Structure 1
Amino acid sequence: MTHYPDLTRYSYDESDQEMLNVGWLAPDHSYCTGVVDERVVTALKVLSASYDNQMRGVHHCEFCDTDRPVVLGGPAMDTEVWLGSAEIRVRGADGTLYAAPNLVIHYITQHQYCPPEEFCRAAVGTAGIETAGALTLAE
Structure 2
Amino acid sequence: MTYYPDLSPYSYDQSSRDMLNVGWLSPKHGYSKGLVDERVVEALKVLCAAYENQMRGIHHCEFCDADRPFVFGGPTSNTKVLLGSAEIRVEGEDGTYYAAPNLMLHYMTEHEYCPPEDFCQAAVRAAGLEAAEELTLVE
- Scaled to the shorter chain, the TM-score interval is over 0.9
Matched residues, percent identical?
Answer: 66
Partner deviation per Cα, 1:46-89 (whole Å, 9 max, x = no partner): 01111210000000000000001010011111100000000000
The answer to whether structure 1 residue 102 and structure 2 residue 114 are counterparts is no
Distance in 1 separating the partners of 2:107 and 2:11: 21
- 1:132 Cα deviation after fit: 4.0
Q: TM-score, normalised by structure 2?
A: 0.97
Contact 1:120–1:135 (CA<8 Å) still a contact in 2? no
Query: Offset of 1:41 from its aligned partner?
Result: 0.4
Segments of 5+ residues of structure 2 without an aligned counterpart are none
Other-structure match for 1:28:
28
Identify the residue that residue 125 of structure 2 maps to in structure 1. 125
Q: In 1, Cα distance between the equivalents of 2:79 and 2:118?
A: 27
TM-score (norm 1): 0.97
Give me the whole-angstrom Cα distance separating, in 1, the residues matched to 2:90 and 2:138.
20
Preserved CA contact (<8 Å) 2:121 2:133: no
Q: Which residue pairs with 1:70 in the alignment?
A: 70
Give distance in 2, aligned partners of 1:74 and 1:121. 18
Pairing 1:136–2:119 present: no
| RMSD between aligned residues | 0.7
Deviation at 1:133, TM superposition (A): 1.4
Q: Do the aligned residues in 2 keep the contact of 1:40 with 1:135 (CA within 8 Å)?
A: no
Shift in Å at residue 136 of structure 1? 1.3
**Amino acid paired to 2:37:** D
Task: Output the CA distance in 1 between the equivalents of 2:51 and 2:122.
Answer: 17
| Matches for 1:46-65 after TM superposition, within 5 Å | 46-65=46-65
Q: Give the conservation status (yes or no) of the 8 Å contact 1:121–1:135.
A: no
Residues 24 and 101, structure 1, Cα contact 8 Å, conserved in 2? yes
3-state secondary structure, aligned to 1:88: strand
Runs of 4+ more than 6 Å apart: none
Aligned residues: 138
Distance 1:97 1:132 in 2: 18
C-alpha distance in 1 between matches for 2:25 and 2:77: 26
